[in-house]
Amino acid sequence: MNIDVLTRLPHSLMGFDVFLDGVDFWGVVESGELPDFEEEVEKFMAGTGVAPVSVPVAMKEMSTKVKIAEPSPDIYKRFGQRSQLVFRGSLFASGGDEIPMVVTQTGLLQKISGVKAEAGKRSGGIEFNHDADTITLEINGEELIYIDNINCIKRIGGVNLTASRLSNLGR
């Protein structure tokens, strides 16, 4: 059997780092959970419809969660303030090269979880949530998603999906 189909392995996140207002957490960041990109929808069905259709009305809140292996004064000092969070990752591509993935967001450092201590175990790490006002997702230098909640910009794949709304409103 001769198969002339090129297959590839999925891209895998090989490593990552987090920066908060330029402060690098290399070596102490344990995990990061990037926000979901999710539309808030309403279901609509016309009187002659067969089934409801989803009508997008807004986007759901976007929040990044990060776990750090130690309490950090740099994080505590930014609590309740607007700051910039940058998540930099390296994706393994099947050709052997690794490509960059960068998520940059500005927003509110909304929550810092308390230090958890447990006898006989390494403890002292903290988790924090950073809510996004603006967020950009880039893979291999290409901007895939840019959302600016304050200025009503939702650019997906280079197309601003809110441009006509802004124009209609005189912006």
DSSP 27-80: TTEEEEEPPP--EEEEEE--TT-SS-EEEEEEE---EEEEEESS--HHHHTTTT
Q: 5-9, 107-111, 132-136: which range is least confident on average?
A: 5-9
Count of structural domains, the chain: 1
What phi, psi does 165 have (nearest 5°)? Answer: -60, -45
- Residue 6 forms part of a structural domain: no
Q: Do residues 130 and 120 make contact, with C-beta atoms less than 8 angstroms apart?
A: no
Domain containing 82 equals 13-35+59-135
- Residue 162 forms part of a structural domain: no
According to DSSP, residue 125 is labeled -
Confidence bin at 7 (pLDDT 50/70/90): low
Q: What pLDDT score does 5 carry?
A: 56
- Residue 76 forms part of a structural domain: yes
Confidence bin at 140 (pLDDT 50/70/90): very high
Cα separation, 64 vs 66, in Å, equals: 7
- Residue 155 forms part of a structural domain: no
- Residue 169 forms part of a structural domain: no
- Residue 52 forms part of a structural domain: no
Q: Do residues 107 and 134 make contact, with C-beta atoms less than 8 angstroms apart?
A: yes
- Residue 8 forms part of a structural domain: no
Instruction: Using the predicted structure, report yes or no on whether residue 132 has a pLDDT greater than 60.
Output: yes
pLDDT digits (tens, 9 = 90+) for 80-106: 999 999 999 999 877 778 999 999 999
- Residue 130 forms part of a structural domain: yes
Instruction: Using the predicted structure, report yes or no on whether residue 69 has a pLDDT greater than 70.
Output: yes
